[in-house]
Amino acid sequence: MKNLKKIALAFCITASMGAVSTSVMAEVDAGRITYAPADAIDMVAAKVGVALEALTKGEDADKVSELIKDVLAASKEINASDKVFASRDKVHSKLKAARAHLKDGARQEAEQELRDAQKAFLALKSIL
C-alpha cells in the first residue's frame, strides 16, 4: 500500500507537470506567420542580398542601414536549436559591424561584412 501511494503521487506530479507545461501549451498567435528554419534562413539571406545590392548601387547609407536593421529583425525568425541560435548571434555581430562601417563612411568594409554575413546565414543550413 505504501508503494502504491508513492507510485500514485509520482504519476499525479508527472501528469500535472505535463498539463501545465509551456511547451505543451505553445501555439502560434493568430496573426503571426511562422517559418520553417530553412525557409527563414533563405528569407534572411535574400534580405541581406537586397541590402548588399542597394549598397553596391550607391544607395544612401541611411537607407542601407535601415535595410540591415530589417535583416536583424527578420533573423529572429530563425529558431532551430541552441547551436543555430549561437551561430546566428555571431552573424548579427557582422551585420552590426556593417552598420557601424556605414556610419563611419567605410562602404567597402560594410560591403565585405554583408557578403560575409550572407555566406554565414546560408551556412546555418548545414547546422540544421
Dig out the grid coordinates for 76 from the structure: 529572429
In this prediction, residue 69 carries a pLDDT of 94
- DSSP per-residue codes, 4-53: HHHHHHHHHHHHHHHHH-HHHH----TT-----HHHHHHHHHHHHHHHHH
C-alpha cell at 57: 548601387
Burial string for 54-68 (b: 16+ CB within 10 Å, else e) reads bbeeeeebeebbebb
The reported pLDDT for the residue numbered 111 is: 93
1.10.20, 1.20.1530, 1.20.120, 1.10.760: CATH of 30-126: 1.20.120
pLDDT in tens, the chain (128 residues): 888 888 888 888 887 776 665 555 555 556 666 778 889 999 999 999 999 999 999 999 999 999 999 999 999 888 888 898 889 999 999 999 999 999 999 999 999 999 999 999 999 988 87
Distance CA 119, CA 91 (A): 9
Domain positions in the chain are 30-126
